[in-house]
A and B are shown apart, each in its own frame.
Chain A
């Protein structure tokens, strides 16, 4: 999985439908793959769950980028907190009642709640953002897959009895909540400005997703069903690749990158 490079080379915007497919399909497939690989081949494969979370995070960041460019009237962070609030409620429900279908139940539940919030935001509150319904649905779904993916990476399974004792009662769910949430909303927030570029924003999402993966790896040290070393090492590799890629985009997009220096000259004179 060349996670860090998949945004590379595309100067034009990647259509949102491709990102939805990447996030939803990639996320769910990776979560299930991780579950079955851990069952049949051993805990070393728990890291695949975090790869699914990265897919979902990139998708979520792209959705935040689309909706936040309309101006929400308050800070960009709010929508990420909303998404993760819905996501955590839906995840607990889905995993608790769904059994083997848990991730799908959680995903669908979150999207239903997201759709309702999006519709109410436009109909009752009157935000008047045309893509609100779609974006809230997407962000809630992405947030949920990020939570499920990171939980799977921490424990090697999404069976609720294990998740309950190893992730929820220990409080690590709070880490998942905030690491996943910020990874979704930081990319657009960090690249905010008139010359923001989609590929640069998404490369930040990969990088922040990799950090969430590394943290999931550290936490998985306490779990019998997941192994820490592969998750941390692969997470560091993805982080390195995506940060390098991000750095290239920054150098490409910036007005100038200098070691140090004074302010640009013309503006100084115009004072």
Chain B
């Protein structure tokens, strides 16, 4: 039988880091401007897809780049940075192409309906919102918010993966990579769904009033990820 207390005591730092990673993912989703189904019809500001899916797409891209980096170097900072950049590139490219479609394909200017002036560019927003909609496209403030969200999510995912890969164990390396990666994916999905319930599926970015609800999701994620972290550390450390 596994020495559960011993494994946990030896790897308690990683339990904390995994929990932190999960909380980062959960917080990051609040930054990502997603408009859900209405945004796909240019009826709401943000990216025209679901929160979970977009966060997962960005975070998992970060996981791929972090996984590649972990193969090449031992530096924790570099691995986290690789995860961050990978996720930021994915979400940045998605938003810019999405905006190209809004501007050239649909013919609407990017505009936020939640604020009258863009907090970053100070541009007037409300008169650029077409009648009967809640804004459309991705204005600069949402774009920057999305980049921040992608970055935090990438760091979070990479932190979970890095922590799992740092636990001492007796597995062959291919087995270990597979196990750590699927744990990271599982923990990532749990933490991507929790905040999307918190914001009700749509948010414009950090200027949106809904953004203030983030502590609720973060507390929930803290508890849930802590449980997942203990479970995964025992699993890996005991092998």
Contacts and interface: CB of A to CB of B under 8 A. Distances in A.
Nearest to B56: A81
B162 interface: no
Nearest to B173: A169
A109 B220 contact: no
Interface residues of A, number: 41
Interface in A91-149: 92-93, 96-97, 109, 112-113, 116-117, 120-121, 124-127
A77 interface: yes
A74 B190 contact: no
B3 to A, nearest CB: 11
Interface residues of B, number: 46
Interface string B197-239: 1101100000000000000110110011001100110110011
A177 B185 contact: yes
Interface stretch (B86-94, B115-123, B143-151, B175-183): B175-183
A75 B189 contact: no
Interface string B34-64: 0010000000000000111100100000000
Contacts of B223: 116, 120
Given A81-B56, A164-B171, A88 B197 contact: no
Nearest to B182: A173
A170 B178 contact: yes
Contact of B200 (A74, A86, A90, A171): A74
Given A92-B232, A93-B232, A74 B185 contact: no
A116 B50 CA distance: 24
A97 B197 contact: no
Interface of B: 1-2, 4, 36, 50-53, 56, 171-172, 174-175, 177-179, 182-183, 185-190, 192-194, 196-198, 200-201, 216-217, 219-220, 223-224, 227-228, 231-232, 234-235, 238-239
